[in-house]
Amino acid sequence: MKLLSKLNLRYITYSLMVMVVSGILIYVSISKVVNKQIDEKLADISVRIGEKISGGGKVDWLLPFVDISEIKNSAESSVLSDTIILNRNEKEQEVFRQITVIKKINQTCYKIIVRESKIESEDLIETLADITLLAILFLTGTLIFVNRKVAKSIWTPFYKNLKKIEGFSLQNNSSLALEQTGITEFDALNNSVTKLTSQIITDFENLKQFSEDASHEIQTPLAIISAKMESMLNDPELTGLQLENIRIILASVHRLSKLNKELLLLIKIENNQFIASEKISLKKTVQEKLVEFQELIELRGISTEVQFTSDITNESNPILIELLINNLISNSINHNVQGGMIRIVQSENSLEIWNTGRATIEHPERLFSRFYKENPSSNSVGLGLAIVAKICEVQGWKISYSFFKPLHGFRVLFET
């Protein structure tokens, strides 16, 4: 839920609670005031009737509004109460407010009852309460409307800056230029984000430069060592043991050089340094890679089966596509058996590469991890499938592994 919506929801909830409580208080207060006015009016009428009787005048009364009767001697009193009387005309019960006065006048004890209907008073109370509640509702609605308008204008710069932050990329090599909102808290946040992105760009550039420099500096001595080792192999004075040791050292140097190159490649993929993209025919790329590996495939006696139900023209970086297919085909050859087979199936939105293998994978969930090798004695550096997984992650594709004895398969699901 958006912050503005949440604020409005809370505002409306609390406003309604306040209105309900206010409505009850207003109704009770108005009822008390009206009842007090009625009581004062009834008391005044009863006093006037007593004065008229005391003066010897004749008092006319009309039931049920005034009722005067002579009673036996009793203590003087005055009692206010509510009573219900049948309205003969409308044939329904009506609530009356009445005052019952017992008073001794000219040696005679009188019981004087004065009544007034409360219907008009209740109607007045309800009308006043309705008007008050409508006023509160109108005021609340107006405040909510004004609040939304004001809040929208205040939050507009925030959402503009949020869009810029969402579009931020390290590849642009420029810090964010966020708008000043004139609101202290937002501007403080903008300044912090701007400083943070500037620092991130600096750190990223330093790390990228360090990786490239380190890779270059490592590659140079490795090349020198490799050249020297190859030169020493031609020395006729070396013994068989020395030659074997040199070959082992040379193999380790070549492996280290390959590892260095693949690590640098993996870092470049992670840093999205392969930005340029173009439309690439997946079918054509697969066929070209099979031609490149043809000699190795024939040497291992591996048969190939290729099925293209349709050609995928993908908008991607050509280097990444070639790396993806190259590593998958290379993996299917390296982990195949002598005289085995490779099956490549390309459908509308996926590519599957299957190969016969020696055994089941013990830890398939670790296949795409860096430096993981099912066979520790393998010459692989353990980065091929990690690079494949990283390419799929960067491109928004999905890579999965399956095993249907004796076939191991990798499936790449492309964007549709």
| Per-position pLDDT tens, the chain of length 416 | 666 677 777 777 777 787 778 777 877 887 788 788 888 888 888 888 888 877 776 766 677 778 888 888 878 888 888 888 777 666 777 778 888 888 888 778 888 888 887 776 666 667 777 777 787 778 777 877 877 777 777 777 777 888 887 777 766 666 777 777 777 777 888 888 888 887 777 777 776 666 666 666 676 777 777 777 777 777 777 777 877 787 777 777 776 776 666 666 666 666 666 566 677 777 888 888 888 888 888 888 888 888 887 766 777 777 778 888 888 888 888 888 888 888 888 887 888 888 888 777 777 777 777 766 666 555 565 677 788 888 888 778 888 888 888 888 888 888 65
Give the separation between CA 188 and CA 292, rounded to whole angstroms. Answer: 58
What count of Cα atoms within 13 Å lies in the side-chain half-sphere of residue 411? 11
Amino acid identity of 272?
A: N
Among residues 18, 21, 15, 23, the alpha carbon closest in space to that of 131 is found at 23
Look at residue 333 in the predicted model and tell me its pLDDT. 85
Look at residue 233 in the predicted model and tell me its pLDDT. 74
Q: By the 8 A CB rule, do 332 and 293 touch? A: no
Domain boundaries, the chain: 3-139, 185-270, 278-413
> Where is 18: in which H helix or E strand?
helix 3-54
- 354 beta partners: 343, 409
Among residues 264, 257, 268, the alpha carbon closest in space to that of 218 is found at 257
Pairing of strands 341-346, 303-308: parallel
Q: What is the largest CA-CA distance in the chain?
A: 159
- 303 beta partners: 341
Give the separation between CA 43 and CA 99, rounded to whole angstroms. Answer: 7
**Cα angle 330, 332, 337; round to 5:** 120
Query: Looking at 133-236, which runs of residues are DSSP E strands?
Result: none
Q: How far is CA 35 from the centre of its chain?
A: 57
Q: Cα dihedral angle (120, 123, 127, 133), rounded to 10 degrees?
A: 140
Can you read off the two tokens belonging to residue 97? Answer: 């407010």
Can you read off the two tokens belonging to residue 68? Answer: 């005067």
Q: Which pTM value belongs to this model?
A: 0.46
**Count of positions (residues) in the chain:** 416
3.40.50.880, 3.90.550.10, 3.30.565.10, 3.30.460.10: CATH of 278-413 = 3.30.565.10
Can you read off the two tokens belonging to residue 163? Answer: 């869009």
